[in-house]
Amino acid sequence: MRIVWSFSPKNEMVYRLVDIHFHGLAVINYNVIMLDTSPINIGAGAFIGPGVCLACSGHAIHPSQRSRVLTSAPITLEENVWLGANVTVVGGVFNQETNLKFMEVFMNKEWSEMNKTMQLQIKKKDTFSTGIDTLLTLREELMKQILQFKTELSFDDFSAMPYMNAKGYHSKTIAYSLWHIFRIEDIVAHTLISDDEQVLFKGDYQRRINSPIITTANELVKEEISEFSKKLSIEELYNYIIDVDTSTTQVLKALEYSDIKEKITDEKRKQLEMLNVVSGDENAYWLIDYWCGKDVKGLIQMPFSRHWIMHIEACLKIRDKQLSIK
């Protein structure tokens, strides 16, 4: 058994039996939450700011699994880590660095809050245009991080799989994740919403990127992901990313509130199936049912925002691992 103690705002000592392990003196500020469904290890000299959440517990992402698939993974904070106010650390994080890059691996509070605000705003007619502006601002912030990868990482880093056997988006590669994010966005924005030609085809990007596939790549696993990533031209992949982002921005700016309740028609579904941009593999084909079961508002809420956040956070974890071994 472990007895963990801290001080309340009234300077009263509080203790209880938990699965939290301190390896030396650490500073824990007020209103810190630790969901210790797995072990939490905190190194000597750690500073944890107010409102921080260390969450070992989690659940599946897809709605069909969310209510029945629960997850839990340990969290380890090494010596002298500093977590600023309101940082959220998710299960599975193991920090070997002792600088502020550590904060970037976790659920970015600002991104999360902007996404929540946007979702509330687009639901109402009088705040819809403000919601689109919030979404575009969020995407600008996320794009800055995507572009930063290109300045920080080598070609080999983009195809590295340091967490191949892990469960989660960080088990992929950064190159895969970027392809996956923007193929899904390209498909949804153009085939399902605007009903026009995808950027991939219009810009001849399959040839330019040297991609062996035109799908979302959901069907690929482990070594297949690695081999796929090594074939891609990162320079042309980034050109594709920028073109898709630019075209999606135009699509979003053109939307009216009356458009967001429109359902995906059977004709658009058939067109999507004919393009063969979603693999028939069971790990991929569910996407068609998922997208076509949404209205335009539902599509805005996932592929254009939340989907970016989840994969970029996974890329940050891969990035930090790659930089730590150099």
Instruction: State how beta strands 47-48 and 57-59 pair.
Output: unpaired
Q: How many CA atoms lie within 13 A of 78 on its CB side?
A: 11
Residue 104 has pLDDT above 60, yes or no: no
Is residue 87 helix, strand or coil?
coil
Q: CATH 1.20.120 occupies which residues in the chain? A: 109-324
What does pLDDT average to over the chain?
Answer: 86
- β-partners of residue 21 are 41
Q: Where in the chain is the domain with CATH 2.160.10.10?
A: 2-105
Whether CATH 1.20.120 fits 109-324: yes
The pairing of beta strand 57-59 with beta strand 70-72: antiparallel
Task: Say how many C-beta atoms besides its own lie within 10 A of residue 15's C-beta.
Answer: 9
Q: Residue 71: its pLDDT value, please?
A: 75
User: What is the distance between the terminal CA atoms of the chain, rounded to a whole angstrom?
Assistant: 38
Q: What pLDDT digit, counting tens, does each position of 259-277 carry? A: 999 999 999 999 999 999 9
pTM: predicted TM-score of the whole model, two decimal places:
0.69
Q: Average the pLDDT over 18-27 and give the result.
A: 82
Q: Please say whether the structural domain 2-105 has been given the CATH code 2.160.10.10.
A: yes
pLDDT of 13 > 60? The answer is no
Residues recorded for the chain: 326
Name the more confident of 142 and 4: 142
CB 83 within 8 A of CB 107: no
At residue 85, the pLDDT reads 85
CB 285 within 8 A of CB 224: no
Residue 1 clears pLDDT 50, i.e. is over it = no
What's the CA gap between 213 and 183, in Å, rounded?
11
